[in-house]
Amino acid sequence: MSKTTCVAMILAGGQGSRLGALTKKIAKPAVPFGGKYRIIDFPLSNCANSGIDKVGVLTQYRPLELHNYLGTGDAWDLDKSDGGVFILPPYARDKGADWYKGTADAIYQNLNFIDMVDPEYVLVLSGDHIYTMDYAKMLAAHRANKADATIGVFEVPWDEAPRFGIMNTDEKDGRIVEFEEKPAKPKSNLASMGIYIFNRDFLDKYLKEDATDDNSSHDFGKNIIPTMLKDKARMYSYAFEGYWKDVGTIESLWQANMDLLQDEPPFSFTSAWKIYSNNPSLPPHYLGRDAKVTCSMLNEGSMIMGEVDHSVLFSGVKIGKGAKVTNSVIMPFTVVEENAVIDHAIVAQNCVISAGAHVAGSEGAIAVVPEGETVAAEQASVGQQVS
Amino acid sequence: MGNVMGIIRLDGANSMLKELCEHRPVAALPIAGRYRILDFAVSSLVNSGIGHVGVLVSKKARPVFDHLRSGKDWDLARHRDGLAYLPNDGENGNTSALAGLYQNIDFVMRSSAEYVFLVQADTVYNIDFRHVLLFHQNTGADITMVYCKAREDLPGEAASMQVAENGKVTDIAKRMTSTKGSNDFMGIFLMRKDTLVKLVTSTFERGGNSMLVDGIIRHMDEFSIYGYEHKGFSTRINSTMAYFNANKSILNPDIWNELFMSEHPIHTKTKDAAPVQYKNTAKVTNSLIGNGCEIYGEVEDSILFRGVRVAEGVKIKDCIIMEQCQIEQYAMLRDVICDKNVVVSEDQWLKGAENYPLIIAKSTVI
């Protein structure tokens, strides 16, 4: 392999249990988002657009669909002869096999991959955030600061700060002086985005030490970062300005989809910073004579005969005559039959909402129809999970 | 079908397509909101299990190379067989498909294929070529020609065939118009490789220019020729009206389903455009909308390709608007075909006629 500056490691093994029914069959990074994407398209496209062409994807929970989706990495131009996407699931060794016990352990177990790529820097990313970011700029800041580690931070509203890992920094140069996990009385509103750049040798040393500590939960936020800070390492924050959303819950996933429908969407889909994804071979969608579509995003292969407002529809969705879909997310190949009504809901892939059926949630209680379900007319449901 | 190869011809009725084919062969003409016409031929070959496809290229080939590239989007970027470009140097000014075939005849001879589909990529269809091969083998024909019943009376070059009840072709005539219900040749030949080689060399070496006229029509008695009727949707793009009507027929949900939603999808070059954004003032009915569009205005009975922006107050009816066009505020368009990258400025009114669409050339600013 040619000399590598920076390798990216995307943590994509999480179950995303707070997404409940949506992650029963697929890992969280494979959850559909924004009409045509999957969550993992965002970090992968960011890597491709930032010029990082060696990307390890660490998978564990329900990896089949995710592995299948990643394929050779060609969708993100990451099918290179000298790099590209490397799928890294846990594996057995001569002394037995271990699951990834935490975010840090997942990277630790793949130090041999990092040795193979032999980079100067390691960029650690999560597979469950929606944002567009130029990692090359963050790396430039890391080098300019001569930092050991740089952590991406994001300004959150003060009242929400107690829900995040908060970085207290030196206002002059952004050097991190303290890290507090979910502080009751936050001293700063700079939340960690779960994006880290480490000098490779520096990371290597801390991961190896942490691996021998039986009391550690082998987690970057809980263990590695605090230990590094305690050792007075040169750790800097890198402030990200722009849209960033953790889509770890049903509500936040719904909200992030709705954010795309604003008059000024949080990021431009038409800019040069493309979000790449696997494109199925489907025709442009068709809107029938009685269709009425407003404030919505629609993808290829859909056929709309009814009304759609404030909603995000994925590919191959059918909306029958007289059906009404509002404030909802409808995932690929779901059929909404005639006169069915859907409001404040996330309907997963390959569902059938029978003629005349009602699926209604409300803000704060989004209704969820899990993958492959059929909702009968008499099964009309209000709020929460339908199954 | 490991023993079958496909050869794609890009020639067609360019002159009848006016400005639309000034910079591109018919085969590369954008259609149905995201495709180019040759996608139907190439996808049908690939979906029928044919993994060895040669493309005869001659003039104005850039859009074809740009579209097909390595053939990856059709699964044709392969170590074994896959996609091959067959250039015609146009020696002595002869750029006919027959001359191209003659020049590349060694490519055909070298192939391990037993049968060859020779396909003119100017027709819209989704066809399973395996059925055609089976028909060919059952009839024991030397040459099988695929035809369909013409859907309407339209001017435009057509070869109509007389087909006996047993499928035998008894007569073929080339006309400058097509009549509803006639058996129009779809530009698809199937024959054994050695038959093709013989046909091409003997026709070209005797001064022939057209495979159909000089090779077949003039030698009808030398071959056993059978006609295979394709009963699904098919329409040949041989005039601007044929192009206009073909796009509009795809607004019929049954045809949309037949062409695109079967287990045999039509593949095309992927472009990673975002989903379509419909704004609060959008009003869109009976239309096909390609990804990457942003719509504030009204669209009816129309086809919008990828990345078109329709501003507030705009009214578009019975139009075909190609990639990356911008229709600015309060513009009104009816019976118009906008080629790629056209800008229609504020308050402009453009109108063609139902039987004579107004064509706006590529990259025009109005």
Range with lowest mean pLDDT among A4-18, A110-124, A346-360, B336-350: A4-18
What are the angstrom distances between the C-alpha of B14 and each of A131, A133, B23, B24? 47, 46, 10, 9
Residue for token digits 């009975």? Answer: B301
Partner residue opposite A303 with nearest CB, options B33, B253, B267: B253
The pTM of the whole model exceeds 0.90 = yes
* Residue A81 pLDDT: 85
* Residue A89 pLDDT: 92
CB contact under 8 Å between B286 and A296, yes or no, is no
A265 touches chain B (CB under 8 A): yes
ipTM score assigned to the predicted complex: 0.92
Residue B14 pLDDT > 80, yes or no? no
CB contact under 8 Å between B259 and A285, yes or no, is no
Mean pLDDT, range A290-300, rounded to an integer: 97
What are the chain A neighbours of B30 within 8 Å (beta carbons)?
none
* Residue A381 pLDDT: 57
CB contact under 8 Å between A286 and B288, yes or no, is yes
CB contact under 8 Å between B286 and A288, yes or no, is yes
Of the pLDDT bands very low, low, confident and very high (cuts 50, 70, 90), residue A386 is: very low
Amino acid at residue number B71? G
Amino acid at residue number B207? G
- Yes or no: say if B169 and B227 are a contact pair by the CB < 8 Å rule: yes
A264 touches chain B (CB under 8 A): no
* Residue A387 pLDDT: 43
Structure tokens at B324: 């990356």
What are the angstrom distances between the C-alpha of B115 and each of A248, B43, B120, B194, B265? 55, 18, 16, 8, 24
Q: Give the DSSP letter string of A46-58.
A: HHHHTT--EEEEE
Residue A380 pLDDT > 60, yes or no? no
What are the chain B neighbours of A330 within 8 Å (beta carbons)?
none
Rounded distance between C-alpha atoms, residue B277 and residue A311, angstroms: 10
Q: β-strands B52-57, A345-347: how paired?
A: unpaired
Mean pLDDT, range B239-266, rounded to an integer: 95
Residue B165 pLDDT > 90, yes or no? yes
* Residue B131 pLDDT: 97
Find the chain B residues whose C-beta atoms sit closer than 8 A to any C-beta of A: 32-35, 43, 72, 251, 253, 256, 259-261, 265-268, 270, 272-292, 294, 303-305, 307
Selected for mutation to probe chain B from A281, A305, A319 (highest B CB count within 10 Å) is A281
Selected for mutation to probe chain A from B47, B261, B285 (highest A CB count within 10 Å) is B285
Q: What is the pLDDT of residues B130-159, one digit of tens each?
A: 999 999 999 999 999 999 999 888 888 889
With CA atoms as reference, report the closest residue to B67 among B323, B362, B342, B341: B323
Helices (H), chain B: 38-47, 62-68, 97-103, 105-110, 129-139, 193-205, 240-249, 253-260
Mean pLDDT, range B297-318, rounded to an integer: 97
Residue B92 pLDDT > 80, yes or no? no
What is the rounded average pLDDT for all residues in chain B?
Answer: 94
Q: What is the pLDDT of residues A143-180, one digit of tens each?
A: 999 999 999 999 998 988 888 889 999 888 899 999 98
CB contact under 8 Å between B270 and A279, yes or no, is yes
* Residue B94 pLDDT: 80
Which residues 158-197 in chain A show a CB within 8 A of chain B? Answer: none
Residue A377 pLDDT > 90, yes or no? no
Instruction: State the number of CA atoms in the 13 A half-sphere of B158 facing the CB.
Output: 27
Structure tokens at A77: 């131009």
Angle, vertex CA B330, rays to CA B324 and CA B334, nearest 5? 70
Instruction: State the number of CA atoms in the 13 A half-sphere of A154 facing the CB.
Output: 20
Structure tokens at A297: 């995003």
* Residue A285 pLDDT: 97
Which residues 55-114 in chain A show a CB within 8 A of chain B? Answer: 74
What are the chain A neighbours of B291 within 8 Å (beta carbons)?
36, 284, 299-300
Q: Closest Cα of chain B to A236: distance in Å?
A: 35
Amino acid at residue number A368? V
Rounded distance between C-alpha atoms, residue A179 and residue A220, angstroms: 12
Mean pLDDT, range B108-128, rounded to an integer: 95
The percent of residues in chain A predicted with pLDDT above 90, rounded, is: 75
Q: What is the pLDDT of residues A172-211, one digit of tens each?
A: 889 999 998 888 999 999 999 999 999 999 999 999 999 9
CB contact under 8 Å between B286 and A289, yes or no, is yes
Helices (H), B208-273: 240-249, 253-260
Q: What is the pLDDT of residues B230-244, one digit of tens each?
A: 999 999 998 999 999
* Residue B16 pLDDT: 81
Mean pLDDT, range B21-36, rounded to an integer: 93
Give just the sign of the alpha carbon dihedral B305, A295, A246, A16: negative
DSSP code for B167: S
Instruction: State the number of CA atoms in the 13 A half-sphere of B339 facing the CB.
Output: 19
